[in-house]
Structure 1
Amino acid sequence: MSDSNHYETLKIGHHASQAEIKQAYRRLVKIFHPDSNQETADHQEIIRINAAYEVLGDTQSRLNYDEKLRNHQPKFNSYRQQRTASDQKNYQAKRKTGKDADEKVEEWLRLVYKPVNRVLCVILNSLDEQIEELAADPFDDELIDEFQKYLKVCREDLKQAQNIFRSLPNPPSLARAAAHLYYSLSQVGDGLEELAYFPLNYDDRYLHTGQEMFRIAMSLHCEAQESVNQ
């Protein structure tokens, strides 16, 4: 077994939660990766960090690794056996905190991110088709009516998504994803307002501005998805 201890490499305790392991890994990568920080870049350290996270980031691999630690490191066993009642209590509290953090992340993803994500996908991917239909004859009353109905549905869906977004605070670990989601919703709202001006004066500039705002919203939406999947 390698002398390198993956827990020490990631600078975490043996009882860190999976969320804490992920946070430690991302923090260290930002410190030692050359793309993030030239002054502290360390190729060998990045190799050790990646190797540690590959093992500890997977639940089953981590269990196997912990078993090897128990079998090959007597001090590890001794440490656990000599733990005082106070230490055990602190350990349980730490595990509970990590578990609670993981549960809050899962809850936010399920109750907020996923339903808001679905609404954004529907709205953002529907505009081009609506513009294409309207382009057949922008002055046709029936097409204008259909376009206004489309905007009304979008506004209602957007309001629902905004209410869902505000219904539950985001976990700190997903702050970046939540921020991108928030700004994406705001851009969609501004875009819908611009589009709504077109039937009033038939000025194409409102259509172009609305489309540009939707493109920005799409970019922010993609960044939110990337942040969640990291």
Structure 2
Amino acid sequence: MADFKQDSNHYDTLKVSPDASQAEIKQAYRRLVKLFHPDSNQETADKEQIIRINAAYEVLGDSQSRLNYDQQLQSESQNLNSERQQRTASAQKHYQTTRKSGKDADEQVEEWLRLVYQPVNRSLCSILNSLEQQIEELAADPFDDELLDEFQEYLKNCKADLKQAQTTFRSLPNPPSLARAAAHLYYSLNQVGDGLEELSYFPLNYDDRYLHTGQELFRIATRLHCEAQASVE
């Protein structure tokens, strides 16, 4: 995601008011992209302007990112302190979890498989097996607003599922006997995250390279996922 800077104003870039609705922001973004993108208007094409417009929409187009941006405009230091507190709380939780003891090794394996591996495995299967159909549907007309909306909604749902899977993965320490499977799951989740980020750039500039890169990262994630499954069997 683009860095937040107090000396720049994404609202001015998109020519909208700070009170604009999400629909108005999306409408303004698409109007400006069509104005400056070389594929739609050679006379007014401006690569640098497209970069600025994409950066602004990347922040303002998502309600949570926009809220974070507005808050940081008001008090950057307050947000940094909040992030530190969250990292500290997460580290403390992880430390407390890793100190949990007294369980038989077989019980630890069974618990990890039931509470971590199985739900993460289901999430990965759902995300990895759904991409090709989404790409095929989008290929019908990559510039169609409705198809783009559906593709972005798909990516949003995948990111939410991925976030939940990552949280689940961190909820328990993996048993030593399943360290190999846990490592493959971890790297598969990371590849899925990188792939979703690449795919998210396509609606911003219609560059097919982001689709191809995202698909390749998904293929790597699939291979790692299969290796995790093999390690558990």
What's the TM-score bracket when you normalise by the shorter of the two chains? Answer: 0.5 to 0.7
1:86-165 residue pairs with structure 2 within 5 A?
Answer: 100-165=104-169
Which residue in the other structure is 2:170 paired with?
A: 166
1:132 Cα deviation from its structure 2 partner: 0.2
Which residue in the other structure is 2:228 paired with?
A: 224
Instruction: Tell me how far apart the structure 2 counterparts of residues 195 and 182 of structure 1 sit (CA, whole Å).
Output: 20
Which residue in the other structure is 2:25 paired with?
A: none
Which residue in the other structure is 2:210 paired with?
A: 206
Which portions of structure 1, spanning 4 or more consecutive aligned residues, are displaced by more than 4 angstroms? none
Instruction: Tell me how far apart the structure 1 counterparts of residues 162 and 138 of structure 2 sit (CA, whole Å).
Output: 22
Instruction: Tell me how far apart the structure 2 counterparts of residues 169 and 112 of structure 1 sit (CA, whole Å).
Output: 9
Which residue in the other structure is 1:175 paired with?
A: 179
Letter in 2 for 1:130: Q
Instruction: Tell me how far apart the structure 1 counterparts of residues 208 and 142 of structure 2 sit (CA, whole Å).
Output: 9
Instruction: Tell me how far apart the structure 2 counterparts of residues 199 and 111 of structure 1 sit (CA, whole Å).
Output: 36
Instruction: Tell me how far apart the structure 1 counterparts of residues 200 and 166 of structure 2 sit (CA, whole Å).
Output: 19
Q: Please say which structure displays the higher CA radius of gyration.
A: 1
1:52-78, CA deviations, whole angstroms, 9 ceiling, x for partnerless residues? xxxxxxxxxxxxxxxxxxxxxxxxxxx
SS at match of 1:167: coil
Letter in 1 for 2:194: D
Flag structure 2 segments of 5+ consecutive residues without an equivalent. Answer: 1-100
Structure 2 residue 193 is matched with structure 1 residue 189? yes
1:105-143, CA deviations, whole angstroms, 9 ceiling, x for partnerless residues? 000000000000000000000000000000000010000
Instruction: Tell me how far apart the structure 2 counterparts of residues 139 and 219 of structure 1 sit (CA, whole Å).
Output: 32
SS at match of 1:168: coil
Flag structure 1 segments of 5+ consecutive residues without an equivalent. Answer: 1-96
Superposition TM-score, scaled by structure 2 size? 0.56
Instruction: Tell me how far apart the structure 1 counterparts of residues 163 and 203 of structure 2 sit (CA, whole Å).
Output: 22
1:179-222, CA deviations, whole angstroms, 9 ceiling, x for partnerless residues? 00000000000000000000000000000000000000000000
